[in-house]
């Protein structure tokens, strides 16, 4: 391809409204353009990347035995009413009416449609397992679309749905999908982790998320060098050692102007690990109280997903308002504590290992020091309620935890029979009895992979694509082409030869100065660059630059294709 026939849409300025690096670079490098909030047009350069990711996904899904289908984007409301999600799904579901005033939605996902297909087509256990997938445009009407295509409203997704006669078969396909996803993200050249995940609103038994590691990621993931990996939402914290014996008496002290844990630790000149924070949340209907006091070590963070699983806590988690707190405690949020709490106390389990700790006195401007369980207050109800932190032991004993940010690009679920039960997808089993099928679902945010790859692969000059998903493999930059017919001809010839050898080549035939060419090709992120000039032709050696390497090297012209092949493979 030649730039004269494949115009670039690079921008000099970084668009002001683009917050993260992938959004900035996709706009600057001319990969996408915004049409409206959360709606983007893929320009030719961007679409090449999207198609390469799509191609890898398709190959690996086919290799894993999944069957590609294409379901309508527009889905009738009746199916969503059957599954119960029409009312449940909320404002992210783009609902619409056709000319006859019938209800439809623009599908954000296709569990209902595929289960409807399977209940019609599949009659016998002999037809199972079966795994259907599609690569299709989805719509989720995000409240706050942002970060470009990272959290767009319309996006390209690979969604797969498998059906089984029993849980063993589901587990087997689930393992295959886990392996296929691993191959997909490896082939895309991404640094990623598969992590255990919460099954959340979609329900089901087991679930893994695939995260591309990048500092801009919205999720925190915990992993150990030896293989443990889980979303911090889900990673179990270690049991504490038993608390040491009390060392001091409990005492009430005045703590004027102390409202936060940091202020408290500073005021007392103690580490935050010795302080306790008390958070007041709404209670569930399981207990005879409106509010519950959750106590955590001062440096620990409440984990909402874990808290919501405790029977005392209302779901979704709701923090109490200041007025509710004052009514219950007669004190402000900065001075609360479990000693003499007027509401039930629920302690994070790490607190069971603490002694001589400091809590609020339930009296404005006062705290209690030297507090100990069993002496100053009863042993509390406790549970794992916090986020695991860096350096703690992994729950499987595989070493110390590291925390990294991740961008979720894939998610696999063992769904069970939630949809097949609701829609009545049954088959005859080996004994001729009707049985509800068991189901798995497996998603990849294909367009999001593109953005995530950029988050992980860029520098101050632009994108540094992994070769497998780059829009072009090699950029050809002729120097002095305007004046030199020899350079022009050599560039054209090299273009044709490299293309014939199977490389995706972009020849910059604009006749621009080297600086302009190099800046554009680096911004775009083409991973390999060849410079063609009189001097190189004279010497029989062309300058080759790996986009990530600090220095250029020189490759012999008469063996260029082999040399490039070697470098592209690496």
Residue 127 contacts a second copy per CB under 8 A: yes
Could you tell me if 370 and 253 are in contact, meaning their C-beta atoms sit under 8 angstroms apart?
no
- How many angstroms separate the CA atoms of 108 and 291, rounded? 36
Residue 106 contacts a second copy per CB under 8 A: yes
Residue 44 contacts a second copy per CB under 8 A: yes
From the list 129-137, 197-205, 279-287, 408-416, the region that binds a second copy by CB under 8 A is: 129-137
Question: Nearest approach, Cβ of 134 to a second copy (angstroms)?
Answer: 8
380-398 core/surface letters (b: 16 or more CB in 10 A; e: else)? bebbbbbbbeeebebbeee
From the list 34-42, 299-307, 395-403, 558-566, the region that binds a second copy by CB under 8 A is: 34-42
Which residue is associated with the tokens 């029989």? 540
Select 127 or 512, whichever has its Cβ closest to a second copy: 127
Instruction: Indicate which single residue of 6, 86, 89, 267 sits in contact with a second copy (rule: CB under 8 A).
Output: 6
Select 47 or 302, whichever has its Cβ closest to a second copy: 47
Return the bridge partners of 18, or none: none
Return the bridge partners of 252, or none: 368
Residue 154 contacts a second copy per CB under 8 A: yes
What are the structure tokens assigned to 322, written together?
């200041």
Radius of gyration of the chain (CA): 29
Select 74 or 226, whichever has its Cβ closest to a second copy: 74
Which residue is associated with the tokens 């996803």? 181
For 95, residues 6+ apart whose C-beta sits below 8 A from its C-beta are 77, 103, 104, 105
Residue 17 contacts a second copy per CB under 8 A: no
φ, ψ of residue 237 in degrees (nearest 5): -90, 155
Which residue is associated with the tokens 């110390």? 400
From the list 42-50, 256-264, 281-289, 294-302, the region that binds a second copy by CB under 8 A is: 42-50
Residue 428 contacts a second copy per CB under 8 A: no
Query: Segment 202-241, which members bind a second copy (CB under 8 A)?
Result: none
Instruction: Indicate which single residue of 120, 257, 431, 559 sits in contact with a second copy (rule: CB under 8 A).
Output: 120
Residue 200 contacts a second copy per CB under 8 A: no
Residue 12 contacts a second copy per CB under 8 A: no
Residue 516 contacts a second copy per CB under 8 A: no
Instruction: Indicate which single residue of 55, 81, 82, 130 sits in contact with a second copy (rule: CB under 8 A).
Output: 130
What are the structure tokens assigned to 116, written together?
């409807």
Residue 55 contacts a second copy per CB under 8 A: no
Question: Nearest approach, Cβ of 522 to a second copy (angstroms)?
Answer: 21
Residue 36 contacts a second copy per CB under 8 A: yes
Residue 42 contacts a second copy per CB under 8 A: yes
Select 120 or 569, whichever has its Cβ closest to a second copy: 120
Select 71 or 453, whichever has its Cβ closest to a second copy: 71
Residue 33 contacts a second copy per CB under 8 A: yes
Select 92 or 249, whichever has its Cβ closest to a second copy: 92
DSSP class of residue 284?
Answer: -
Could you tell me if 3 and 510 are in contact, meaning their C-beta atoms sit under 8 angstroms apart?
yes
Residue 500 contacts a second copy per CB under 8 A: no
Burial of 430 (0-12, 13-18, 19+ CB in 10 A): exposed
What are the CA-CA distances from residue 111 to residues 29, 72, 103, 108 (Å)? 36, 12, 18, 10
Which residue is associated with the tokens 């002001």? 16
Question: Nearest approach, Cβ of 48 to a second copy (angstroms)?
Answer: 8
Question: Nearest approach, Cβ of 7 to a second copy (angstroms)?
Answer: 6
Instruction: Indicate which single residue of 12, 16, 99, 247 sits in contact with a second copy (rule: CB under 8 A).
Output: 99
- How many angstroms separate the CA atoms of 557 and 538, rounded? 10
- How many angstroms separate the CA atoms of 348 and 296, rounded? 5
For 55, residues 6+ apart whose C-beta sits below 8 A from its C-beta are none
Select 15 or 227, whichever has its Cβ closest to a second copy: 15
SS (H, E, C) 369-399: EEECECCCECCCEEECCECCCCCCECCCCCC
- How many angstroms separate the CA atoms of 23 and 141, rounded? 19
DSSP class of residue 570?
Answer: -
- How many angstroms separate the CA atoms of 477 and 491, rounded? 8
Residues in the interface with a second copy (CB under 8 A) total 50
Select 158 or 300, whichever has its Cβ closest to a second copy: 158
Question: Nearest approach, Cβ of 169 to a second copy (angstroms)?
Answer: 15
Residue 50 contacts a second copy per CB under 8 A: yes
From the list 37-45, 308-316, 481-489, 528-536, the region that binds a second copy by CB under 8 A is: 37-45
What are the CA-CA distances from residue 299 to residues 77, 237, 248, 296, 462 (Å)? 48, 14, 22, 8, 38
Question: Nearest approach, Cβ of 69 to a second copy (angstroms)?
Answer: 6
Instruction: Indicate which single residue of 15, 17, 35, 263 sits in contact with a second copy (rule: CB under 8 A).
Output: 35
From the list 97-105, 466-474, 526-534, 562-570, the region that binds a second copy by CB under 8 A is: 97-105
From the list 112-120, 178-186, 198-206, 542-550, the region that binds a second copy by CB under 8 A is: 112-120
Compose the 65-94 pattern: x for residues touching a second copy by CB under 8 A, - for all others: x-xxxxxxxxxx--------------xx-x
Residue 16 contacts a second copy per CB under 8 A: no
Residue 139 contacts a second copy per CB under 8 A: yes
Query: What is the chain's length?
Result: 570
Could you tell me if 477 and 529 are in contact, meaning their C-beta atoms sit under 8 angstroms apart?
yes
Question: Nearest approach, Cβ of 137 to a second copy (angstroms)?
Answer: 6
- How many angstroms separate the CA atoms of 196 and 383, rounded? 20
Find the helix packing angle between 167-187 and 44-63, rounded to 10°: 140
Q: Which residues bind a second copy (CB under 8 A)?
A: 5-7, 9, 33, 35-36, 39-44, 47, 50, 65, 67-76, 91-92, 94-96, 98-99, 104, 106, 113, 116-117, 120-121, 127, 130, 132, 136-137, 139, 141, 143, 153-154
């Amino acid at each position: 391809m030649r730039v004269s026939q494949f115009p670039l849409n690079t921008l000099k300025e970084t668009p002001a409204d683009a917050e993260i690096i992938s959004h900035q670079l996709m706009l600057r490098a001319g990969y996408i353009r915004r049409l409206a909030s959360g709606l983007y047009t893929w320009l030719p350069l961007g679409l090449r990347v999207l198609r390469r990711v799509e191609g890898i996904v398709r190959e690996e899904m086919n290799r894993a035995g999944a069957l590609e289908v294409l379901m309508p984007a527009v889905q009738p409301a009746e199916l969503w009413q059957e599954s119960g999600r029409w009312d449940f799904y909320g404002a992210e579901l783009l609902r619409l009416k056709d000319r006859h005033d019938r209800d439809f939605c623009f599908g954000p996902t296709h569990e209902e449609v595929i289960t409807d297909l399977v209940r019609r087509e599949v009659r016998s256990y002999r037809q199972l397992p079966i795994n259907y997938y599609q690569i299709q445009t989805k719509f989720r009407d995000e409240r706050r679309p942002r970060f470009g295509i990272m959290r767009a409203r319309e996006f390209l997704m690979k969604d797969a749905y498998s059906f089984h006669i029993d849980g063993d078969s589901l587990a087997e396909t689930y393992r295959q999908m886990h392996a296929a996803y691993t191959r997909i993200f490896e082939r895309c050249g991404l640094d990623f982790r598969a992590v255990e995940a919460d099954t959340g609103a979609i329900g089901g038994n087991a679930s893994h998320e695939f995260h591309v590691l990048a500092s801009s990621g919205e999720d925190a993931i915990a992993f150990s060098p030896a293989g443990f990996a889980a979303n911090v939402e889900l990673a179990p914290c270690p049991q504490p050692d038993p608390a040491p014996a009390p060392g001091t008496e409990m005492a009430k002290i005045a703590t004027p102007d102390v409202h936060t844990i940091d202020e408290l630790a500073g005021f007392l000149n103690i580490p935050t690990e010795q302080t306790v924070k008390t958070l007041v949340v709404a209670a569930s209907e399981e207990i005879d109280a409106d509010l519950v006091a959750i106590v955590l070590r001062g440096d620990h963070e409440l984990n909402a997903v874990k808290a919501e699983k405790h029977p005392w806590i209302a779901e979704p988690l709701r923090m109490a308002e200041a007025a509710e707190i004052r009514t219950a405690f007669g004190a402000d949020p900065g001075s609360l504590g479990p000693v003499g709490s007027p509401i039930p106390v629920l302690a994070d389990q790490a607190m069971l290992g603490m002694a001589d700790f400091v809590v609020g006195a339930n009296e404005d401007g006062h705290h209690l020091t030297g507090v100990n369980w069993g002496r100053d207050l009863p042993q509390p109800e406790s549970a794992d309620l916090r986020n695991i932190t860096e350096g703690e032991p992994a729950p499987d004993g595989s070493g110390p935890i590291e925390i990294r940010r991740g961008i979720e690009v894939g998610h696999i679920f063992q769904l069970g029979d939630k949809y097949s039960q609701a829609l009545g997808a049954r088959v005859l089993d080996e004994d001729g009895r009707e049985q509800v099928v068991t189901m798995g679902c497996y998603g990849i945010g294909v367009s999001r992979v593109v953005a995530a790859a950029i988050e992980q692969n860029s520098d101050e000059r632009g994108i540094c694509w992994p070769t497998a998903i780059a829009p072009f493999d090699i950029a050809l930059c002729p120097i002095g082409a305007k004046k030199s017919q020899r350079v022009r001809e050599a560039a054209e010839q090299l273009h044709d030869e490299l293309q014939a050898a199977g490389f995706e080549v972009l020849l910059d035939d604009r006749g621009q100065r080297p600086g302009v060419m190099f800046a554009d090709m680096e911004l775009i992120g083409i991973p390999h660059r060849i410079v063609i000039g009189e001097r190189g032709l004279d010497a029989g050696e062309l300058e080759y630059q790996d986009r990530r390497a600090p220095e250029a090297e020189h490759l012999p012209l008469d063996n260029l294709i082999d040399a490039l092949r070697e470098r592209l493979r690496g």
